[in-house]
Chains A and B, each alone.
Chain A
Amino acid sequence: MEDLIDQISRGNVSQVKTVLASAIVVLALYQVFLMAVVYGKLKLPFLDGRAASFTHRAVGDTIVLLALIVGFMCIGYFEVGDGIEHARDGESGRAAVHVGAAFLLFAVLALKIVVVRWWHSMGRFLPLLGLSVLVLFLIVWATSAGDYLLGG
């Protein structure tokens, strides 16, 4: 598995993950903007709620796919326990937060998809679930890609 991921990224596993994770975060922020249009919090002359809702769903599907790829690269290459144990000095705390937030993120994301597609009676919790997903994406990014980019 490690060899496959290494080959696909041409030895730049961390860099590829950083680019993909950053793309995910900017798309997640765009999702909030789209939902503000859908809920009528933001009224724009060039975009209505119906079109914003369609784009929110399409971008959301893309985000899930990208997140699964990054998660697969992360676990396949670094592994959970080894990722924390092999973190640089004083960085195991950051790595542990990253791993914890990432697992929580996938759990909340899965719950959100279930609510959107099948569990409609829980629809009133969608804004809360959406914001939780955004916050978790930001934490996961800040404790890995953000830290890498800002030279932490």
Chain B
Amino acid sequence: MSERPSYAKQMVGSLLAAVLLVLIVVALVTAKIGPGPDATEIRERERAREERLEERQEMREERREDG
């Protein structure tokens, strides 16, 4: 039967395996999500976000008035 690698090698190997797993998952998930938004999309999102913030603010004010 072959001897086990040294403790340091086992540690480094098992940590590298974790890093490799993360890299594979990041690559797979990023490929599934696709490329990031272009400038137009970012502007549209910004507009939608501002609308959402205003809506939230209105909801908070309504809650405050109700409460």
Contacts and interface: CB of A to CB of B under 8 A. Distances in A.
A19 B30 CA distance: 7
B63 to A, nearest CB: 10
Given A11-B45, A45-B2, A149 B53 contact: no
B26 A19 contact: yes
Given A11-B45, A48-B4, A27 B21 contact: yes
A86 interface: yes
Interface stretch (A52-60, A99-107, A122-130): A52-60
Contacts of A85: 59
- For chain B, give the interface size range: 20 to 34
A52 B4 CA distance: 13
Contacts, number: 76
Given A22-B29, A86-B52, A30 B11 contact: no
Interface string A58-100: 1100100000000000000000001001100000000000000
B18 A55 contact: yes
Contact of A149 (B29, B42, B56): B29
Cβ-closest 10 pairs across A and B: A51-B10, A55-B14, A26-B25, A22-B29, A23-B22, A51-B11, A19-B29, A22-B25, A11-B42, A26-B21
16 contacts: A11-B46, A12-B37, A19-B26, A19-B33, A23-B22, A23-B26, A27-B21, A46-B5, A48-B4, A48-B10, A51-B14, A55-B14, A58-B15, A59-B18, A149-B29, A149-B33
Interface of A: 2, 6, 10-12, 15, 18-19, 22-23, 26-27, 30, 34, 45-48, 50-52, 54-55, 58-59, 62, 82, 85-86, 145, 149
